[in-house]
Chains A and B, each alone.
Chain A
Amino acid sequence: MIQNLEIQNHNFKLHPSGAIFWEEENMLLIADVHLGKVAHFRKHGAAIPAQAAFKNLEKLTEISNYFQPKTICFLGDLFHSILNDEWHDFEKWVEYTQAEVILISGNHDIIPTYLYEDLGIKVFDELVLKGFYLTHHPTEVEGLFNFSGHIHPGVRLRGLGRQYLRLPCFYKTLNSLILPAFGNFTGKHILTPSEKDEVFAIVEGEVICVSKNKKL
């Protein structure tokens, strides 16, 4: 169910939750959780089931228990809006987790940095690590491999009998990889890959390469 990937002699595990585990660094990469979105909607009169909000933190707990990483790095859009009650639950989660938490700030992250820092979370605009470049927006830089989020990538698949499917995916080009959105109350944006791109779709608890080893 997990897809292994080697990039520049480093080993990465692509997990069906949408997270990536970086073995050499013992680091978990997670993009676009959008915590607080459900509460934000409810505050504006849209009665979205509140249970949906808890699920995100449950998922975070499950995945960090599974990999036991030293560091968890959020690639932006961790919190969807201004402060609301979901922040309290997030505080508890940070207290609970053993890992060091890092946030690469995204366009939705409008909560003041000091609030994160009070929880012991380091906040960066970008991060360069062992030849890898971690950002929220996909950003190309000569000589570095870029991990990013922001896009919520998805692809459209076509089968015989004119079947179509849209699935969230990890989207890899020569020098970059865009992670799918981790949050459960987020949409996806359909991309059209070129022949050189590699696409790993998430289907029913599996990560499947839909571009490699196929006649294109």
Chain B
Amino acid sequence: MTNKELINIANAWFQSKSWKAFPFQHKTWNAFLSGKHGLLNAPTGSGKTYALWVPIVLQYLKDNPAYKTKHQKGIKAIWITPLRALSVEIQQATQRFADDLGTGLTVGIRTGDTPQSERAKQKRQMPDLLITTPESLMLLLASKDYDKTFKTLTAIVVDEWHELLGSKRGVQMELALSRLKTISPNLRIWGISATIGNLEEAMDVLLGTDSQFRENSVLIKAKQKSKIEVRSIIPKKIETFPWRGHLGLHLLEEIVPIIKASKTTIIFTNTRGQCEIWFQKLLEKHPEFAGEIAMHHGSIGKDTRLWVEQAIRNESLLAVVATSSLDLGVDFAPVETVIQIGGPKGVAKFLQRAGRSNHRPGEPSVIYFLPTHALELLEASALKRAVKEEVVEDRIPYLLSFDVLIQYLVTLAVSNGFFPKDIFPEIKNTFCFQGITEEQWNWCLNFITIGSQSLQAYDEYKKVEVTADGLFKVESRQIAMMHRLSIGTIVSDSMMLVKYVSGGFIGTIEEWFISKMKPGDTFVFAGRTLELVRIRQMQAQVRKSSKRTANIVSFMGGRLPLSSQMSKILREEMQSARLPDGTTENPKRNTPELKALSHIYKRQERESIVPNETEFLIETFKTREGYHSLFYPFEGRFVHEAMSSLLAYRISLLSPITFSLAYNDYGFELLSDKFLDIQTILDNNLFSEEYLYDDLQKSLNSTELARRKFRDIAVISGLVFQGYPNKAIKTKHLQSNSQLLFDVFRDYEPDNLLYLQAYRETFEHQLEEGRLRQALARINSQEIIWKQCNKATPFSFPIITDRLREKLSSEKLADRIKRMTLQLMK
């Protein structure tokens, strides 16, 4: 059959459903059938699944014209999805098309949830299409004769590639693809991505650096002009609206009419803790919602989550309070309205959430923005502009992640074993490891075989062994099993299962939260009040309680920083609202958000100033807590984290001093028990970009950032074993282990690549060194305004009350201790 005839078959099927294929679908079919690789840029709910599944099926029909009578054995395609929850949806869609065409093709799912019996069956005979996650794919590469299994592959589709790209799961995917390219000669590689700033790079990362893949590839963009309307919820009495906070409960009553007026509403919160609290408070204030609202977040049991998702589709719910667990994937047609609580910090995330509502063509998606404190109104105003101007962020891929490489090499050694001369060229062709040197490669090989860089007498180190003919292989069954249990790159805080004494799983919560409690204590989780009965291994056994308690479960979780795109717009918005001479109204202050903020601006102008684009503001004042110095670069919390460490370090070189650091998305604070003369900072040119890297590295030694990064690296690279299922070692053990390891490497093996990687990741991903450099350059071109204030200003308030803090000191530890006090039992 010719490609044209094949495509006609697909068109006929679309007609039978009274659909019409979109141009981007046609383009993708043609590209695929002519043997191309590529990246498809299309949003959720646009028909992206059929854009790639259709040509995979058509290719099969072409290869096997007798398909109606004779089924060709062997797996044809793998569909990678980052979220298990999406797999069922994909299975239904793909199976339907395969069945309607009478192809006899089968679709199977393999994720962590797949029962053992099903997996064993798949191992004997793979389905034609396997829907799986990056981790489960790696596990398949860890099983014997994986090369025979995958020989027949014609396509691998990586769905939601933008979600994987900026994470180590992306690196894991790159490595798996590098292997499949060799063992599956007919492989076509395709990715599907939502809109991000660096789509071209996303394709480079997916396809790797070998020319035969890059030259034969294509980037296809689905036309998407979905209108989004942003409406801010502006407090009626802005004067009493708080200056700080992140919950936003003050405006709870404002969203009630919105919920009541629409069919189904999703209320997005930024953290699981916030989600729990909002759900609780909504029910408390409006008991009439009982049974009509639900909650959805990543720590709630899977069954409950599935039930909620189904209920949204059935239109049986009025509202769902959710976290990013509902950002992705499945379409919920009945969702009419979306409410975002608190700043989403990035445009892409906000767009994604807005896109969850109202898929009726021609009508705009409406998203309400509820600020949690006054200055967040600025963010609302900035978001509106970002949406209008279609600004989207980049996803930065990881480079040289040796921890993932080491895990991957052991994976290969567990299954068939490998010869380094075969694998090195494959690795070298990935985007992540294009810069790897032969030395670094040998380092990794030594690491997995002798556990160091030189052979030591009497050493009992055991992991990968090298056979006489040079095959790298894991021989010990115990090590192989431990490795299979450790495959993956998501290192989460230690979780405890929450179960009823009588049986019945409720969800998982972080160990530290439970460890604070005694049996008999009550807490609120998943919308229920529970009493802790006992802790058995890694299970918290609970029973329902009728007591009232304010102890709502909370989670550690990182706060997201403002993206650089958002920061820039935010700065512009802030400045546009400035009063030129501090008294008259600025005609440019025209958005309703900025109007609402005017009293805060006035207050800020009275106590200090609102800086314009040529000014950099520094404020100092003293409170009971010590001497506060505040700096406002408006660059997002990661950059502020770095800049505060850098500045504190440079100041501490001038004279011994200790700082406690705090930062938010707008600025940062150096708090000290001694007076800090800002003039010395200016006189000594401490915002200089010179020696930035060196200074940062030294300041970081004290701030422990790298130590925290090392925790993940230690787990991924297999230095720390997280335990057998149901026999879990408590993570206090793991925590101190990786902390301890970090110290041991610092003291005895400071050139260890994994140890150095912790620093590199800190610079590239945590501190965003590039952005920091630009910010310093900007500050150096600005006029510095130092205001000595009498008390906390509106801008400073959210920062000085932040409880997440770092410290930095150049004083001798012993001297500091003498001024400290012991935490005593209350």
Q: Do A and B come from one complex?
A: yes
Binding site for B on A (CB under 8 A): 39, 42-52, 55, 84-85, 88, 155-165, 167, 184-188, 192-195, 199, 201, 203-204, 206, 208, 210-211, 214, 216
A187 to chain B, nearest CB (A): 3
B residues in contact with A184, CB < 8 Å: 744
Candidates B672, B744, B814; contact of A204 at CB < 8 Å: B814
Q: Supply 21 A–B pairs (Cβ within 8 Å), ascending by A.
A: A42-B459, A44-B462, A44-B479, A45-B451, A47-B463, A48-B741, A48-B744, A50-B456, A159-B820, A160-B819, A162-B625, A162-B671, A163-B658, A163-B660, A165-B813, A184-B744, A192-B823, A204-B812, A206-B814, A210-B822, A211-B822
In the bound complex, CA of A185 to CA of B482 (Å): 22
Specify which of A45, A163, A214 is in contact with B479 (CB 8 Å cutoff). Answer: A45
B745 in complex: contacting residue of A49, A158, A214, CB < 8 Å: A49
B438 part of interface (Cβ distance < 8 Å): no
Which single member of A39, A156, A161, A208 contacts B626 (CB below 8 Å)?
A161
Q: For the complex, is B718 an interface residue (Cβ under 8 Å from A)? A: yes
B1 within 8 A of A: no
Contact flag A161-B451 (CB < 8 Å), given A46-B719, A192-B825, A210-B820: no
Other than A193-B822, A195-B824, give 17 A-B pairs with Cβ distance below 8 A. A42-B461, A47-B447, A50-B452, A52-B747, A88-B458, A158-B823, A159-B673, A161-B659, A161-B672, A161-B673, A161-B807, A162-B625, A165-B820, A167-B817, A193-B825, A208-B818, A214-B822
Whether the Cβ atoms of B814 and A160 lie closer than 8 Å is no
How far does the Cβ of B804 sit from chain A's closest Cβ, in whole Å?
Answer: 10
Report if A43-B659 is in contact (Cβ < 8 Å); known contacts: A157-B821, A160-B626: no
Q: Which of B633-678 contact A (CB under 8 A)?
A: 658-660, 671-673
Q: A43 touching B460 by the CB < 8 A rule? A: yes
In the bound complex, what is the Cα–Cα distance between A85 and B462 (angstroms)?
Answer: 13
Contact A43 B744, beta carbon cutoff 8 Å: no
Q: Which residue of chain B lies nearest to A43 when distances are taken between CB atoms in the complex?
A: B460
- The CA of A204 and the CA of B460, in the complex, are separated in Å by 33
CA distance A109 to B625 in the complex (A): 48
Q: How far is the CB of A212 from chain B (nearest CB, A)?
A: 10
Q: Is the CB–CB distance between A157 and B814 below 8 Å?
A: no
A72, chain B: closest CB distance, angstroms: 25
Q: Assuming A43-B462, A47-B447, A187-B740, is B823 touching A155 (CB within 8 A)?
A: yes
A188 near B736 (CB under 8 angstroms)? yes
CB distance from B621 to the nearest CB of A (A): 14
**Most chain B CB neighbours (cut-off 10 Å) among A46, A210, A214:** A46
B409-468 residues with Cβ-Cβ distance < 8 A to A are 447, 451-452, 456, 458-463
Cβ-closest 6 pairs across A and B: A187-B736, A47-B451, A160-B673, A161-B660, A159-B820, A49-B748
- A50, B460: Cα distance in complex, Å: 10
In whole Å, how far is B736's beta carbon from the nearest beta carbon of chain A? 3
Is B721 part of the contact surface with A, judged by Cβ < 8 Å? yes
Could you say which of B720, B813, B824, B825 contacts A203, with CB atoms under 8 Å apart?
B813
Q: Produce 1/0 per residue, B282-307, CB < 8 A to A.
A: 00000000000000000000000000
A47-B447, A88-B458 known; A199 and B671 CB under 8 Å?
no
In-complex Cβ contact of A47 among B461, B816, B817, B819 (8 A): B461
Cβ of B625: which chain A residues have Cβ within 8 Å of it? 160-162
Q: A157 near B825 (CB under 8 angstroms)?
A: no
Are A158 and B821 CB-contacts (below 8 A) given A46-B721, A48-B719, A52-B747? yes
